[in-house]
Amino acid sequence: MARKLFGTDGIRGTANHHPMTCEVALQLGYAAGAMFGNGRARSRVVIGKDTRLSGYMLEPALTAGFVAAGMDVTLLGPMPTPAVAYLVPSLRCELGVMISASHNAFADNGIKLFGPDGFKLSDEIEEDIERRMAGSPALAHGTDLGRVDRLEGALGRYVEALKSTFPRELTLQGLKLVVDSAHGAAYRVAPQILWELGAEVVEIGAAPDGFNINDGCGSTSPTLLRQKVIGEGADLGIALDGDADRVVMVDETGQLVDGDQLIALIARYWHQHGRLNGKGVVCTQMSNLGLERFLADLGLEAVRTRVGDRYVVEAMREGGFNVGGEQSGHIILGDYATTGDGLLAALQALAVMVEQGRRFSEVSRAFTPLPQRMRNLKVPQKPDLARPEIADVIAKGEERLNGHGRLLVRPSGTEPVVRVMVEAEDETLLVAVLDEVSDGLTAAI
pLDDT tens for 4-53 read 899 888 999 999 999 999 999 999 999 999 999 976 778 999 999 999 99
pLDDT digits (tens, 9 = 90+) for 358-369: 999 999 999 999
Task: Check residue 334 and give its pLDDT.
Answer: 97
369-387 residue pLDDT tens = 999 999 999 988 888 888 9
Q: What pLDDT sits at residue 294? A: 96
**pLDDT at 7 (0 to 100):** 87
Distance spanning both ends of the chain, measured CA to CA: 26
pLDDT greater than 90 at residue 262? yes
105-152 pLDDT, tens digit per residue, is 999 999 999 999 999 999 999 999 999 999 999 999 999 999 999 999
Q: What is the pLDDT of residue 445?
A: 82
pLDDT tier, 308 (very low <50, low <70, confident <90, very high otherwise):
confident
What confidence category does residue 3 fall into, taking pLDDT thresholds of 50, 70 and 90? confident
Please give the domain boundaries of the chain with CATH numbers for all domains: 6-151 (3.40.120.10), 172-257 (3.40.120.10), 259-341 (3.40.120.10), 372-444 (3.30.310.50)
> Which residues are catalytically annotated?
102
CB atoms within 10 A of CB 402: 9
pLDDT at 2: 64
Smallest CA-to-CA distance from 408 within 304, 257, 296 is with 304
Per the prediction, the chain carries an average pLDDT of 95
Q: Which of 12-16, 307-311, 431-435 has the lowest mean pLDDT?
A: 307-311
DSSP 102: T
The answer, yes or no, to whether residue 414 has pLDDT greater than 80, is: no
Say how many C-beta atoms besides its own lie within 10 A of residue 298's C-beta: 16
- Higher per-residue pLDDT: 404 or 270: 270
Contact 311, 285 (CB under 8 A): no
pLDDT at 169: 97
**Quick one: CA torsion of 243, 249, 252, 255, rounded to 10 degrees?**
-130
Cβ contacts of 428 within 8 Å, gap of 6 or more: none
Integer angstrom CA distances of residue 211 from 216, 243, 265, 295, 310: 12, 14, 35, 41, 28
pLDDT value, residue 444: 87
Confidence of residue 205 (pLDDT cuts 50, 70, 90): very high
Other C-beta atoms lying within 10 Å of the C-beta of residue 116:
15
Phi (first) and psi of residue 204, to 5 degrees: -135, 160
- Could you give the CA distance from residue 181 to residue 42 in angstroms, rounded to a whole number? 35
**pLDDT at position 325:** 98
* pLDDT number for residue 177: 98
% the chain with pLDDT above 70: 99
- Cα gap 421→437, rounded to integer Å: 10
The mean pLDDT value for 179-206 works out to: 98
Confidence band (pLDDT; 50, 70, 90) for 1? Answer: low
- Count CA atoms closer than 13 A to 119's CA, side-chain side: 16
